[in-house]
Chains A and B, each alone.
Chain A
Amino acid sequence: MKKLTINNKEYLLDLKGHETLLEVLRDKLSLTGTKTACEESECGTCTVEINGKAVLSCITLAADIEGEAVTTIEGLADGDKLHPVQQAYVDYGAVQCGFCIPGMIMSSKALLDKNPSPTQEEIEYALDGNICRCAGYPKIFDAVRKAGEVMKNGGNLEQAVVAAQDKFKSTMAKGITYEDFLKMKQT
């Protein structure tokens, strides 16, 4: 038996050596949000996040990732509240048939987590492994840029608060006033 951690939940699974993460997600766990359009690492549709990196689940053996943190499209939203990347994809009309979108969003998120202000070139490179046949990319680029701005400006509220508190604590030690903190918060 292997223990996989997917979207912060632990699953005890009897895995065969050849089973891919994609097969486990879709067939065993009914997490069908992750799609595939080729099963041979060409389309990017099956992209998930493992330890913060965008990874193709169709060529990842499930038995190999015990103990690693897997995030799928189902694990992004916080209850009713969409992740900034998801929200931007809706707001900027980046969604057409939607089949590529889960993978596209996972690649976008992996990029923005590291670099919330990517250049056009950086976006193109980060998403080049994800094929979209409907939308032709411009609206996807818009969504990624916008999501990055939101993430940078604390769209992910909890993280932003924690970061601000940490900064406050460290700067307090240097003798900064509360007014200074408020100013910092605004910026």
Chain B
Amino acid sequence: MSVSVNSSQSPTNFNPVGKSVPRIDGRGIVTGQTKYVFDVSFPNMLIGKMIRSSHPHARILKIDTSKAEALPGVRAIITAKDTYNIKYGSNEYFFPHTVDQMAIESEKVRYIGDEIGAVAAVDEETALAALELIEVEYEPLPSVTDMLEAMKPGAPQIHDAMNNIGVILPVNFGNPERAFKESYYVREDKFYASAAAMAALEPHVCVGQWESFSNKITLWASSQAPFKCREALAKTLKMDLNDIRVIKLAVGGGFGGKLEMLPMDFAACLLSKKAGGLPVKICYNREEEFSFSRRKHAMHYKVKTGVTKDGVITAMTGEVIADGGAYCSYGPTVMAAAIMRIFMVYKLQHFRINGYRIYTNTPISGAMRGFGGVQSGFAIESHMDLIANHLGIDPIEFRLRNITTPNMVTVNKMFLTTNGLKECIERAAVASEWTKKRGNKDYFKAGISKRGIGIGIAADVMGSKMYKSHESAGAIVKVEEDGSVYLFTGAADTGQGSNTALSQIAAHALGVKYERIRCKSGDTEITPFDTGSFASRVTFISGNAALRAGKDAKIQILEIVAQEHKLDINDLDMQGEEVTNKKTNTVLMNFDKALELCYSFNYGKQIIGRGSYNPKTTPIDFRTGEGNVSGSYGFEAQIAEVEVNTETGEVHVLKIWDAHDIGKAINPQSVEAQIEGSLAMGIGYTFTEDLRFKNGRVLNPNFANYRVPRSIGTPEMHSILVETDDPEGPFGAKGMGEASLLPTSAAIANALEDACGVRIKDLPITPAKIIQGLKELKEKG
């Protein structure tokens, strides 16, 4: 159990980087005062509801809204005829052909729930009654809801894409066939990773207002990427970016589901216009959340690997087929993550994996924490254990022979600089007493309950260019006369604590205590641009911007001090709220005095520090998979110890050790919290989280039937922070938040095999599958 305590009781945090300072929004949250968009209400606010398709695949012949319009209390109804019918997408820059969704579909619906309009009424009851009165005439089309069926010739065509393949991603290096021939052992395995729901507790919610007199829009959105949302609104509404303001308040979790503009955001704005400028709130209920928001791609993952007798990987090939649902969303990047992460983990020269993302008549698959890395993590890391077991090499030893190293260039031209993967593996192994437990026939193997231990490793990017040619972040540090310091960042804190970490970075760079910082984030009108919270990029990229803004403000203060005291600015520094002369090693004045000087009669100098950062990366060639996607890379190793009841098939995860190369922990407590949250999500995905469909309809759209982890049975979690001091990261920090989720399922599956010999290759792991596996083992003898 982790025991780090933050220091909110200690009076001040002068050099806050590296300290577990309390969350900047902590007191607001625990008192219920923090405002989420969920809590926003305005006088005369209307309630909006989406009009959704009841067919998985159909042509829209006619929509008659007249009866609904006549219902007292209904204020506005929109359908496609009120829109420009402009398509938008999420990977517009690299994959323009995947821009395939309209905010309001005009001709065809492609899944049960597809948005074909929206209503706004004085209250929810009236809005729901209005939905009942809307008459839609469809021409049903044959539908296909299974990804493998959808790829077959003659399957119903969902978009204009051959065999319903929306995205094809070939990643190809060297000559794997030749390498296989020269290999000592070649093995192929097939895995299946199921669909999962984000299940953020705050549902998707927005309030849109179109000020008709000025023709400006304000959207309060529960968003991970307010600037991306603004771009999509501007495109689909044919407006200028500066006429749209997207304001993010506190966000009750995102996990990828709140990365994109959804039709509801568009609808709230347009309904408001039609209703004469009254604000319109649209909020999903839990059933809508499970049924109509984004989900994790289900994937069939086939992988084949050749090794030498000593267990060195010679080549790898494979095929990834992913269920994309009705539209593309972040599909291309999900496919890239599902394939190209392998290069960050293992040294590979001969490689070919082709990825196919398939359209089906089911709700839209999108980016969920880790993009495709969770699914590939399960497949690859399970596969590695199977190879190691065959060769009789300890799985840790096998990995150590094949992992990437510091300062290496991968075959697809990723530049791995700092790389703590080896240290992560070794420290996790020591902490978990791996050598004592692994493969030990005496270690809790005698009775019905058997214990086992397994490992999984992973790597992660710190950002990725997805919808623009750049992925820069900006920050402003404003120091006021009274000593208050404002940090303006475009980054969207969705609960992970980025406002806290960025404030720590800015305070440290400026040289003041953390308590001075007020953080304003994610408002497109007042904060600098930021691409959003995804791909573990915020600490690394937005953090670098905050660092630069803090330093810039400091230099402005020191310039005044230098001028006043006729000193060389290069001799001055400010740290811990003291301006010092480095040459004489004396304290000249404190921060307050320095500010007094800046804002004095003679100077009147406003201190406004600026920071902008765009990581040095190279464009990715998506025909081959070549390119340095990230400014640095994070690494991690995870070891799970499980106990399986061989009579009931029940599995308990007893302990998990997670060693994570995070460069430098800006806030160790927040890092641990991110790791623990990832582990819980990973355990949920491994055992119970399985979004099930029948004929395109979600079968378990509620928390009763979609089981996320609850407190009972939470294993002991041990976080091991490996600090590699990244030269490019702010104060040496890397991003984190996704990597810890990637190897969890495999670590558990590997531990399960160690415990009882059963290998599960399709998620989720259920008691029934284990009992079946045990039975088969027995029959085999």
List B contacts of A130 (CB < 8 A): 710-711
Binary flags per residue of B690-713, CB closer than 8 Å to A gives 1, else 0 = 000000000000111000111111
Binary flags per residue of B536-574, CB closer than 8 Å to A gives 1, else 0 = 000000000000000000000000000000000000000
Determine whether the beta carbon of B30 is less than 8 Å from that of A37.
no
List A contacts of B286 (CB < 8 A): 37-40, 42-43
B207 to chain A, nearest CB (A): 14
List B contacts of A140 (CB < 8 A): 711
Determine whether the beta carbon of B9 is less than 8 Å from that of A42.
no
List B contacts of A87 (CB < 8 A): 8, 30
The answer to whether the Cβ of A101 comes within 8 Å of any Cβ in the partner chain is: yes
List A contacts of B25 (CB < 8 A): 95, 98
Flag the segment in A119-127, A151-159, A169-177, A178-186 that touches B: A119-127
Partner of A137, one of B27, B39, B253, B680: B680
Determine whether the beta carbon of A93 is less than 8 Å from that of B202.
no
List A contacts of B28 (CB < 8 A): 98
List B contacts of A30 (CB < 8 A): 41
List B contacts of A74 (CB < 8 A): 31-33
Flag the segment in B89-97, B617-625, B670-678 that touches A: B670-678
The answer to whether the Cβ of B727 comes within 8 Å of any Cβ in the partner chain is: no
B322 to chain A, nearest CB (A): 24
Partner of A92, one of B5, B495, B703: B5
Determine whether the beta carbon of A33 is less than 8 Å from that of B709.
no
Per DSSP, chain B at the interface is loop
The answer to whether the Cβ of B497 comes within 8 Å of any Cβ in the partner chain is: yes
Which of chain B's residues 1-52 have a Cβ closer than 8 Å to chain A? 1-6, 8-9, 20, 22-23, 25-36, 38-39, 41
- The list of the 5 closest CB pairs from A to B, nearest first, reads A33-B32, A97-B495, A136-B680, A99-B252, A98-B29
The answer to whether the Cβ of A34 comes within 8 Å of any Cβ in the partner chain is: yes
B250 to chain A, nearest CB (A): 6
Q: Beyond A133-B199, A136-B678, is A142–B713 a contact (Cβ under 8 Å)?
A: no
List A contacts of B3 (CB < 8 A): 142
Determine whether the beta carbon of B2 is less than 8 Å from that of A138.
yes
Q: Beyond A124-B712, A133-B255, is A35–B201 a contact (Cβ under 8 Å)?
A: yes
CA of A98 to CA of B39, assembled, Å: 13
Binary flags per residue of B330-361, CB closer than 8 Å to A gives 1, else 0 = 00000000000000000000000000000000
B468 to chain A, nearest CB (A): 26
Find the residue from B3, B9, B680 having the highest chain A CB count within 10 A: B680
Q: What are 21 A-B pairs with beta-carbon distances under 8 A?
A: A35-B202, A35-B252, A40-B702, A82-B27, A89-B30, A90-B27, A92-B5, A97-B201, A97-B495, A98-B25, A98-B495, A99-B201, A124-B712, A125-B711, A125-B712, A127-B710, A128-B710, A128-B712, A133-B677, A134-B253, A142-B2
CA of A72 to CA of B32, assembled, Å: 9
Interface contacts beyond A87-B8, A124-B711, A133-B253: sample of 20 additional A-B pairs, CB < 8 Å, sorted by A: A35-B201, A43-B286, A82-B27, A86-B30, A87-B30, A90-B30, A92-B669, A93-B672, A96-B496, A97-B201, A97-B250, A97-B251, A98-B25, A98-B28, A99-B200, A99-B253, A100-B201, A133-B201, A138-B714, A139-B669
List B contacts of A99 (CB < 8 A): 36, 38, 200-202, 252-253, 495
Q: Beyond A37-B286, A73-B32, A97-B495, is A136–B714 a contact (Cβ under 8 Å)?
A: yes
B217 to chain A, nearest CB (A): 24
Number of interface residues of B (CB under 8 A): 64
Partner of B31, one of A42, A82, A138: A82
List B contacts of A32 (CB < 8 A): 32, 35, 38-39
List A contacts of B41 (CB < 8 A): 30
Determine whether the beta carbon of A139 is less than 8 Å from that of B31.
no
Partner of A101, one of B29, B203, B676, B710: B29
Q: Beyond A37-B202, A123-B711, A139-B672, is A97–B494 a contact (Cβ under 8 Å)?
A: yes
Q: Beyond A33-B31, A40-B702, is A91–B22 a contact (Cβ under 8 Å)?
A: yes
CA of A45 to CA of B286, assembled, Å: 13
Number of interface residues of A (CB under 8 A): 55
User: Looking across the interface, which residue of chain B has its beta carbon closest to that of A146?
Assistant: B5
Q: Beyond A95-B30, A99-B202, is A131–B35 a contact (Cβ under 8 Å)?
A: no
Determine whether the beta carbon of A133 is less than 8 Å from that of B708.
yes
CA of A103 to CA of B25, assembled, Å: 17
List B contacts of A31 (CB < 8 A): 32
Per DSSP, chain A at the interface is loop
Find the residue from B29, B497, B673, B702 having the highest chain A CB count within 10 A: B29
Which of chain B's residues 457-489 have a Cβ closer than 8 Å to chain A? none
List A contacts of B714 (CB < 8 A): 124, 136-138, 141
CA of A53 to CA of B2, assembled, Å: 30
List B contacts of A137 (CB < 8 A): 676, 680, 709, 711, 714
B206 to chain A, nearest CB (A): 16
Find the residue from B22, B38, B253 having the highest chain A CB count within 10 A: B253
CA of A32 to CA of B205, assembled, Å: 15
CA of A61 to CA of B32, assembled, Å: 22
Which of chain A's residues 71-117 have a Cβ closer than 8 Å to chain B? 72-74, 76-77, 82, 86-87, 89-93, 95-102, 105
Partner of B202, one of A42, A97, A125: A97
Which of chain A's residues 24-52 have a Cβ closer than 8 Å to chain B? 26, 30-35, 37-40, 42-43, 45
CA of A27 to CA of B478, assembled, Å: 37
CA of A43 to CA of B287, assembled, Å: 13
Find the residue from B22, B202, B709, B716 having the highest chain A CB count within 10 A: B202
CA of A30 to CA of B35, assembled, Å: 12
List A contacts of B30 (CB < 8 A): 73, 82, 86-87, 89-90, 95, 98, 101-102, 105
List A contacts of B708 (CB < 8 A): 131, 133
CA of A54 to CA of B277, assembled, Å: 42
CA of A91 to CA of B4, assembled, Å: 10
CA of A169 to CA of B714, assembled, Å: 45
B527 to chain A, nearest CB (A): 20
List B contacts of A127 (CB < 8 A): 710-711
CA of A134 to CA of B29, assembled, Å: 14
A153 to chain B, nearest CB (A): 15
Q: Beyond A40-B286, A95-B26, is A35–B495 a contact (Cβ under 8 Å)?
A: no
Determine whether the beta carbon of A92 is less than 8 Å from that of B6.
yes
The answer to whether the Cβ of B717 comes within 8 Å of any Cβ in the partner chain is: yes
Partner of B9, one of A91, A125, A132: A91
A26 to chain B, nearest CB (A): 8
Determine whether the beta carbon of A38 is less than 8 Å from that of B31.
no
The answer to whether the Cβ of A135 comes within 8 Å of any Cβ in the partner chain is: yes
List B contacts of A102 (CB < 8 A): 30, 32
Determine whether the beta carbon of A96 is less than 8 Å from that of B31.
no
Find the residue from A31, A86, A139 having the highest chain B CB count within 10 A: A139
Determine whether the beta carbon of B29 is less than 8 Å from that of A38.
no
Determine whether the beta carbon of A95 is less than 8 Å from that of B703.
no
CA of A10 to CA of B31, assembled, Å: 20
Find the residue from B26, B200, B703, B716 having the highest chain A CB count within 10 A: B26
CA of A73 to CA of B716, assembled, Å: 29
List A contacts of B6 (CB < 8 A): 90-93
Q: Beyond A32-B32, A139-B2, is A90–B8 a contact (Cβ under 8 Å)?
A: yes
Q: Beyond A82-B27, A93-B669, is A45–B201 a contact (Cβ under 8 Å)?
A: yes
CA of A73 to CA of B255, assembled, Å: 26
List B contacts of A125 (CB < 8 A): 711-712
Q: Beyond A33-B32, A35-B38, A42-B703, is A96–B711 a contact (Cβ under 8 Å)?
A: no
